[in-house]
Structures are given as C-alpha cells and as structure tokens.
Structure 1
Amino acid sequence: MRRFLLAVVATLILGDVAALAAVQPNDPAWHEQWAQRQIRLPDAWEITTGDPGIVIALIDTGVNPIPDLEGALVPGWDFVENDAEPQDTQSHGTRVASVIAARGNNGIGMAGHCWRCSIMPVRVSAGGAVSADRLAAGIRFAVQRGARIINVSLTRPGLPDAVEEQAIRYAIDSGVLVVASAGNAGTEAPQYPAAYPGVLSVGGTDDSDTLYFWSSRGPWVGLTAPGCHMVLDATIPPGTICGTSFTPAAVSGVAGLILSRNPSLTSYQVAGALAATARPVPGVAWGRLDAYAAFQWLGLVPAVPSAPAQTSAPAAPAARTVSAPGQRFSRQTRFETGTFKKAFRSTFRVGRGRFETQLVTPRARECSLSLRTPQELILALPAVKNILSLSVQVAAGRYTLDIRCEGAGARNRQFSLGVIANFPRGAP
C-alpha cells in the first residue's frame, strides 16, 4: 500500500536557477548543469579554473582514465589489489572524479568544478564498502604524497574507529583539508568518517536550498551542496545522478579553486571561508556552499576599476508574463512513501522545466527507474548506494514514473519517492 504524504511549494521561480554568468564553458552537457550555477561557480571561474599543482586525493573505488579527465590524474595507489593501478571496477570513483575535475571548455562531455586541478586516485574499495583500516591507510598515503585536499565519498554508520580517527587527525594536523560525504541516511545519525571533528561533512540540498529527504542532517553536518550532479564515466555519457557521494566533490573542487588562486592559504582558512559564506540551510550547522562568496570573503576577487558615468536612455519597461487562468506553475516537491513488491507507477502533470526524481529503497541496484514521455522512455542511471535518480528537461504534460525491481521475492520493499518539478499551483 502506498501513501501520498505531502506537496511542498519550494519556490515560485521557473527556469534556470541563476542568471547567465561570465564564464559559460562549451562542454555539450553544460546547459544541464544547474548545480554549478546554483553555487555561482561561473563567477569563480572568472578568477581561476584551477592549477595542476593542487592535488585532490580521491579515497574511493579508483578512477579510470576517460577523455574528460585527460591530464588530470597523478600517481595513486590501489589498496584493494596492492598495486599502483587504482582501476575502478565499480564506476563510483570515476563519477566523483568527474564532478571534481572534468576538464571544462574542451568541447566534450561536461565541466567539473576545478578544471585544472589534479586528482590522486586512492582505491580503498571494490564495491563501495570499506573497512576503517583500509580507509585510514588510504588517507595516510594521500597525506604523505602531497595532497592538499582529501575527498571521501564513502560512508559507514556505527561508532567511531580509533585507527580511522587517528588517520583523519594526522591529515588535519598536516594541513590537509578533509571533505567527506554526510551520507544518504535521511536522519541525524552520525556517519563516518564525516562525523569526526575537523572534517567538512557535506549533505545534499535541492535548487531551493532545502535538504533532500534522503540527505543526512544534524549539527555534525557542516555544509551542503547541490545534491544532484552531472557525472561521467567510461560506460555512460554525461547524465545527472543524485546522492551525497557527489556533494563533497563540489566542496573539494571549490576548495581546489581557492587554493589554486592562493596556495599559501591554510586548510583552516579555506574551511573557515566556506563555512562563513554558506547560505543558511535549516538542519545543518552552516549551510549551502557559495563558491564566489568564499572568494570574496578571502579577498581573492580582483578589484574592478569603476567605469565612468554614462548618460543613457531610460530602460524600456520589463515585459509582463501572463499565465493562462488555472495554468500557473510553481516549483514543488511531491513525496510518497510506503511499500511495494516488484513494481509500481506514479503519474504526474507538470509544466515545462526540469523534472527531477529520487527513489530511495533497500538494494536499489536491483531496481530500474524510468520516465515515460510522449516521445521517449528515459532510463535512470544505475543506483548509487540506496538511491536511484533521474533529472531531465520536459515540456508541459503528463508523465509516468515506472519503478521495477528484481530479487525481492514475495517480500514487501520499503521506499521513499521524491519528485521536484513545476506543478500546477493549488493542485493536490
């Protein structure tokens, strides 16, 4: 039995989340990358697009060389197979790397956050699960090999681990900024290593700066970043996927840009700037990442000479947008939760704009999520941990989400489904 819980009006803005900024890269997927515009990254790119001397260690499932990461990778290590080839057999690490450092303005793929930063792949997991001992070894390796930033997009619940915590403290005491995923638990239960003191823990927010229902939260979560990002790996073209695996990548990329502009800054100064300039978000300590505000706070924005005063004709009055009666739309979140066995469908009437959905369910890799439009069937990318997600621009009309799972047998499967779209105002 499924239950419809609520529909929350999130914002009354239709269209892009931000006005066009100065830097607009020529990557084919850029027009769909709302997350970077949300944090004012194009304004920061006017100042710097990174420096290869800033090394961001990615403690994850490894990274595979792909064209959009050409020149980004520096030597790392594989703690799973104990060799110097940290290949990614699961795709998770490669996707996180693309969010951090996919080469922007190169005419292919997508734009990462720090186009010219370097990535040090440190493989500590084959399939997403990782032991505290192996994670600690990866962190120590990264510190000793000169990483300025360590990104950990792997999480585990439970209690602190002494070996893991000591490695985190070693990194912080060595002047390395540690950024970690807050997790997709949707609760205040601490996730590690994000919950250790000194770590920048990062949750996920939507385009109205509201925590996604699946994002971990609480006073131990410091920052948020947009929770859905364009990703890329060797097996898929650019596509949007959601989860807190990718939110620390955004913070790490912005930190990389800051250090590229002024490498003499300490990790404490960078973390302090990101915290001080975050847009407030209820449910976390500081708020949502704002890249350009952090640059301003640190005095990294070049002074612009004042232009001489000019006499110009008065501006023409702005044109009014008139909506047909009963057809005004607003950005809303619809949320369902309940149980199902193997499949269910939900149909929605929406206005033109971005249609975004996330399904949270146990063993999400056994499931598929698709959106049927009048012209085509759009399939979601494979699940990340417990989340299946999809984001696509749609015309006004009715759309059906189709969820199907294998391997559940006769047992009921719990689920939560969130949809963010331009729904008719006042609709139930």
Structure 2
Amino acid sequence: MMTARIALFLLLAGFNSFSVAQQIDGTIPPRQVTDRIIVQYHPTPTYGNAIAFIKQGITSGAFGVAAGKQKDILDLGSSVNIDDAVILANSLNIDPQVDFAEPDYIMQVMQIPTDSRFNEQWNLKNTVSGINAPAAWNITTGDEEIIVGVVDTGVIRHTDLVTNLVDGYDFVSHPWIANDGDGRDNHPKDPGDGITQIGACGSVNGVPIPSRPMDSSWHGTHVAGTIAALSNNNKGVSGVAWKTKIMPLRALGRCGGYSSDIVDAMLWAAGFEVFGLPKNPKPVKVLNLSLGGSASTCPRIYQNVFDKLAAANISVVVAAGNENRDASLATPANCDNVITVAAIDREGNRSWYSNYGEKVDIAAPGGETLNLANGILSTSNSGTTSPNLDNYEYYQGTSMATPHAAGVLALMYAVNKLLTAAQANQIILNTVRAFPTGTCNTSLCGAGLLDAGAAVLKAEQSK
C-alpha cells in the first residue's frame, strides 16, 4: 500500500521530524514545514499505467482513481522540513497513476493590521527606515505574560490601549510635580504635565525653564502606544507588540522627575522591595526609559540599579537624548547594561536632534515633524492641561525611537522565554540592518537599524 511505502521511505531517509507546535528549529525558517503531501492522480490513467499499478499489488481501491478520487492528502504523522517534504513528494511521482505529488504548503494570513491609520505608520513598515514589523508579526504578535514597564509621565486609559494596561504605580514624590494632589500612590494615570506660568520650573542664567507655557505632553501614553497599542481592531494605530501588556510607572510630572523616583520605579517594577511600598506581584521583563538629563558620567544610583536589573534578566532600553550632541554627556544614555537608542528620520538619516556617538547601541525611527507626517504617530490625548478626549499625535524624538526597541524585545521574549537579558540584547544588536547611505554610520548611530523580523526570528531559533 502507498501508506506503507511512505512510512518505509521516512524510515530509510532518516527524517528528523518535529511537531507542528514547535514550528521551527535552529535551521528552518518559520512555518517552512508541513505534515502533509498532496498526491494528484491522472484522471484517466493509460492502459500501461493501469497495468503497472495493478502489478504493484495495490488493488484495494483505497487510493487513486480506483476509488473515484482525483487526489489524496497523505498525513506524514509529524512535520518535516519543506525541503525534505519535496524529496518525499518527488519519490511518489514514480507511481504510474500519480500526475504529481508536492508538499501541502501551509499558508498563513499575512499579519498586516486592520487599524485605520496603519498606512501612516511608516516607522513600522517602510523598507528603508522602518523596523520590518510585519515580518515579526508573521511569527508572533506578542504574549500577555510579557510586561513592559514604561517609566514616564503615566498613561491615559486610551481606548486603543486600555485593555493592554496592567496595574502600575505613581512614584512622583513631590506633590507639585505630581500635579494630582499628593505624592506617591497606586494611581499612575497621567493628570497632565502642562505648565501655565513662565519660569515655573526655575531658570538657568536668568532664562526661565521653560521659556513659555507648555501644554501637557501625554508623553507616556504616546510611548506606550508605540509599544503595545491594540491592533486589528479597525481603529487608530498598531503597536509593535500587540498582545504585550504595559505597566505604567509614573515618575515624571510637571518639569520632569527625580532620579530617585525613577530608580524606585524600576526596582519596584522588577519585583524588588522598595521601602514603604507593597511588592509588585507582576514583575516586568522589559523597561522603557524615554527620558534623560545631563551628566558627564553615569550616576551610581542608575548604574547600580542597571547592574541589578541585568542580573535579574530584565532588559532596559533608554533614549540617547535630543540635544544633537555626544550621548556620553546624557544620562542614563551613558550608562552600562542598557540599550541606548538613537533616532532616525524617514529616509534613514540621523534625525537632526538625536544624540550620537560611542554610547549609542542602535538606531530606530524617531521621526522629524517639520513635515508632520514624517513624525511617529501614536496614542495621545486632546487635553491641553488635564485629560480630555482620546486622539493620535505625531511626535519626534529619541523618546519615540526607544519604545520600538522595547516592543521588539517583548516580541523576542514572547517566542523564547528562556532568553537571558544579555542574550536578548545581543540578538537585537546582531540582527540590525545596515544604514542606508546618509548621515548615520556605526560611529554615530550604533550597530545599525533595528530589524524586528530578523531579531524575533533569531530569538525563536535560539531555543
């Protein structure tokens, strides 16, 4: 019987099969497997073919035209590499009644989201400067067990983000900076960080900071949306890691935030004890710090924590800074055990504002909003001071570049939960795309351009 011949062929050929659930091993590209062969028969075998068929002893009518069939689907019992499936199929072509045999290729929906403004998200799909997100989405769209902590201004419960939020904490200890009537509490919602009075943040050399009133930024909401905005929901934008959860860790408010609050936010998010606070029951796997300040060396308070987080296998991604200067002068960009991210524009050049230099590890889309559509579109709010209506805004900055890397790390951990932080960070750097001809190079902008598809595939192959 034909099934017996297939089983014998598998045994003699020494097929190394594996289950469909495994999907790939270290050498097989994702989904390039099958567990079935299509056998298409001659609709009207010639007399010679029929005689040869009968001589093989296959007379039961279970297969082929004798049973009134045009084709059979042969189940191999387990998945094999497509190349091996082709060899097996070719061996069946010698049967006189077989017209052709070939692998039953597995087709998949290409994961291009239905979000109404996805076409504006050049940062995810542009072949020159985008992060190649669709290639990653064909492998995974994330895992709700992977949590990314966003140390920022807090997060608004935006309708295009809300179901991807988990409980976080407000670490802003100064009541005026907090702008919510108190200091630390368990409500990390962003109340707004707008400034209505010139000089409210003090002055440097007599120049008020800021020099003019500023609307609320909704910065943390924008960052969170880039990482994990809801996708395939026919509205708004797509996040890098659709199913990943965001933990809002509010450490910035009016005029910024203190390093001590930022450090406590990171430690608490990672599951460490922070004096006076309940322990976090759902530790994060990735921390996003789209923030920074000036310091010629990494402050010890930061470096001690980053070392502790690295030992706990937590990846930390930080912004290179927006001062158009060497990143060694910006912190925490100049610290060790972090991934420091510079910003590129839509053409793959260094964004005019992005910090650069030896401390930069990688570049990702940060945009330039001189032409608004060349910025990074993400979730925001229409309120000028306090929260109002959900909306979407184009921003620019290394703050916008950083969450792309955080989202890719979340996808990598989704496919390989055994990755250490050191391994994940190295994969990010080893799978970059080369910079196009322009103002970025490996001396200024890190190892190359972030490539989500290549990084996620490598993470899966590293199981």
CA spacing shift, 1:223–1:128, aligned 2, 3 Å? farther
Amino acid at match of 1:195: N
Listed as ranges, the matches of 1:224-373 within 5 Å are: 224-228=363-367, 229-235=376-382, 237-281=391-435, 282=441, 283-300=444-461
- Percent identity of the aligned residues? 30
Q: Which amino acid aligns with 1:168?
A: F
In the alignment, which residue of structure 2 is the partner of 1:65? 157
Name the SS of the counterpart of 2:249 in structure 1.
strand
Partner of 1:22: 110
Choose between structure 1 and 2: higher strand proportion. Answer: 1
Contact 1:101 1:117 in 2 (8 A): yes
Measure, in 2, the Cα distance between the counterparts of 1:200 and 1:115.
22
CA 200–214 in structure 1, closer or farther in 2 if over 3 Å, else same: same
Paired with 1:56 and 1:299, the residues of 2 have a C-alpha distance of 19
Instruction: Give the whole-Å Cα distance in 1 for the aligned partners of 2:379 and 2:430.
Output: 31
The verdict on how the C-alpha distance between 1:234 and 1:300 changes in structure 2, with shifts beyond 3 A counting, is farther
What does residue range 25-424 of structure 1 map to in structure 2 within 5 Å? Answer: 25-37=113-125, 38-80=130-172, 81-88=183-190, 89-90=192-193, 91-127=218-254, 129-144=256-271, 145=280, 146-159=283-296, 160-190=298-328, 191-228=330-367, 229-235=376-382, 237-281=391-435, 282=441, 283-300=444-461
Q: Secondary structure at the match of 2:262?
A: helix
What's the CA shift string for 1:62-96, capped at 9, x where partnerless? 11111111321111110112110011123111111
Q: Deviations over 1:378-398 (max 9, x none)?
A: xxxxxxxxxxxxxxxxxxxxx
- The amino acid of 1:45's aligned partner reads W
Hey, which of these two has a bigger chunk of helix by percent? 2
Shift of the alpha carbon at 1:237?
Answer: 2.3
Q: Can you give the 5+ residue segments of structure 1 that lack an aligned partner in the other structure?
A: 1-20, 303-428
**Against the structure 1 CA distance between its residues 74 and 128, is the aligned structure 2 distance closer, same or farther, given a 3 Å change threshold?**
farther
- Tell me if the contact between 1:136 and 1:168 (Cα under 8 Å) persists in the aligned partners: no
TM-score by length of 2: 0.59
Residues 1:194 and 1:124: Cα distance change in structure 2 (over 3 Å)? same
- C-alpha offsets along residues 259-286 of structure 1, whole Å, 9 cap, x if unaligned? 1111111111111111011123411231
CA offsets per residue over residues 287-323 of structure 1, 9 Å max, x none? 1100111123334499xxxxxxxxxxxxxxxxxxxxx
Shift in CA distance, 275/189, structure 1 to aligned 2, threshold 3 Å: closer
3-state DSSP of counterpart to 1:204 = strand
Q: Kindly tell me: are residues 132 and 25 of structure 1, through their superposed partners in 2, closer, same or farther at Cα, counting changes over 3 Å? A: same
Amino acid at match of 1:66: H
Q: Distance in 2 between matches of 1:118 and 1:298?
A: 20
Rg larger for: 2
| Amino acid aligned to 1:131 | Y
User: 2:260 and 2:422 mapped to 1: Cα distance?
Assistant: 26
Separation in 2 of the partners of 1:133 and 1:112? 30
| Secondary structure of the structure 1 residue equivalent to 2:246 | strand
Q: CA RMSD in A?
A: 1.8
Distance 1:272 1:78 in 2: 32
| Contact preservation (8 Å) 1:29, 1:238 | no
Q: What amino acid is aligned across from residue 289 of structure 2 in structure 1?
A: V
Deviation, 1:147, is: 0.7
* Distance of aligned partners of 1:298 and 1:52 in 2 relative to their CA distance in 1, 3 Å threshold: closer
SS at match of 1:122: strand
Partner of 2:197 in structure 1?
none
User: Unaligned regions of 5+ residues in structure 2, if any?
Assistant: 1-108, 173-182, 194-217, 272-279, 368-375, 383-389, 436-440
In 1: Cα distance, 2:310 partner to 2:257 partner: 21
Q: 2: CA distance between counterparts of 1:182 and 1:290?
A: 18
In structure 2, distance between residues paired with 1:27 and 1:36: 13
Measured in 1, the distance between the counterparts of 2:169 and 2:258 equals 16
**Amino acid of the structure 2 residue aligned with 1:164:** Y
